[in-house]
Amino acid sequence: MPPPPNPNIDGGWGWAVVFSTFTVRFISHGMIYTFGIYYVEFRKYFGTTSGAASLVMSILVGMTNIVGPISSALVNKYSCRTVSLMGSAISCIGLLLSLAAPRIEYLYVTLGVITGFGFGLLYLPTITSVAMHFENKRATAMGISSSGSGVGSLVLAPLTEWLIDYYYYWKGAILITTGIIMHCFVLSLFYCEKAFFVRRNESVEDSRVEPESDSSPISSNSLESNKTKENVRNLRTDPGEKLRLYYSSSLSEQDLARTSMLPLEALCPNEEKKNKCLKLLKSLYKILGLPLLKDYVFLIFSLSRLLQYLGVMTPSVYLYDRALKLGIATNLQASFLISLIGVSNTLGKILFGIFADLTSWNVLYIYAICLLINGISTMMTSLITHYYSMAIYSFVFGLTFGATSNLTSIVLVELFGLKALTNSYGLVFLFTGLAITIGSPVPGE
């Protein structure tokens, strides 16, 4: 029979989880989206090229996504709460180490690799936790949760500009940002432990029940034991009679019973070690979700995601600097363009999330249309030379990017099921990270 309804599905504590994930993404992604401001400061402070300075951002965002399979494996092994706490600690350590950077290459490791790894561990639990707590309202809940990224860029972009210009320079701004990220320790405690997700996964499985049997449960060991007993019973002859086998020696019935109980390890230790290694590799293969790579639908979706993210971070990194170089905006006006991306990003996630829940349209069509508009608008940026045109582009880009970002998890659930969400999203993160790492520095060269 189907499991009883869970009061925490589509409501209850699920909304507390939405609040927590919203705030975590507000902090972590808000910091990432403000990198366009840090990018200018790094270039001035270290006297480096645009490409070298933007590589910090590429590694940071790329690492955040590349660790997706690792993050998904840790979530499957432990829990969203544990992994998020680990991410909070690692990202804070990376930011603090960045304050001692003597040259730009140092930031590649501290701000790029270490902080990016921490942000990656923070990110995936925000997706999995919300998806597990919602079913009919999943797209709406995902939209509210993921809108934290846009609100974060809206608030943190002018705040970072203000801190750098009037008080603490870039090092002071990063130090204050580290203090803000420490709030993720408390927010991570809102996530449910692993037991909830085990019950949730069981509830979405096929509810068919096999007919009960009067026989008691058997283990593999008892099965083997029964096989041995059956064989001995079939071979039984008169008491004390010798048993002739295929080779020349002979055994009594009692000797045969004792011999059948010898452990396999004693007979072939090398074979046992080989089997253990194979079992370990098979376990890693499943934990990391690698069987999905055999699915051509998943590969096509991952390829589209990779192509999108080859250029999708370019506006966040270069729009601020381009507005200043064209002389069409002040520092504050240029930072407003980043904030505008954040506002429209937030609207796109919430509005398209609600639309996906209410409409009869296939969510794949909504995702594809938004992706197409996002790509075409970005292609046209080289023709933009006026501030208001740039503002319109920022709004359209943020709106459609927010929609595709939010609907990704919904599409994955539709295509591969809720149980595969953690692993499928982790692998999609990997493709996304590779694209960002390769793509972001190219326009700055």
d(CA 362, CA 93) in angstroms, rounded, equals 43
Give pLDDT tens digits for 86-140: 999 999 999 999 998 899 999 999 999 999 999 999 988 888 888 888 887 888 8
Residue 22's pLDDT band (cuts 50, 70, 90): very high
At 272 the pLDDT is 67
Tokens coding 354: 């609600």
**Higher-confidence position of 150 and 30:** 30
d(CA 94, CA 106) in angstroms, rounded, equals 11
Q: b/e for 185-224, b at 16 or more Cβ within 10 A? A: eebbebbbeeebbeebeebeeeeeeeeeeeeeeeeeeeee
d(CA 123, CA 64) in angstroms, rounded, equals 8
**Predicted TM-score of the model (pTM):** 0.66
226-233: long-range pairs with CB below 8 Å, 24+: 228/260, 228/261, 231/260, 232/256, 232/257, 232/260
Tokens coding 65: 């996504």
Maximum Cα interatomic distance, the chain, rounded to a whole number of Å? 105
d(CA 324, CA 36) in angstroms, rounded, equals 12
- Average predicted confidence (pLDDT) for the chain: 77
CA distances from 4 to 146, 197, 202, 287 (A): 29, 15, 12, 29
C-alpha dihedral (133, 117, 305, 369), degrees to nearest 10: 50
pLDDT score of 196 more than 60: no
What is the number of other CB atoms lying within 10 angstroms of the CB of residue 162?
A: 14
Give pLDDT tens digits for 261-271: 545 445 455 66
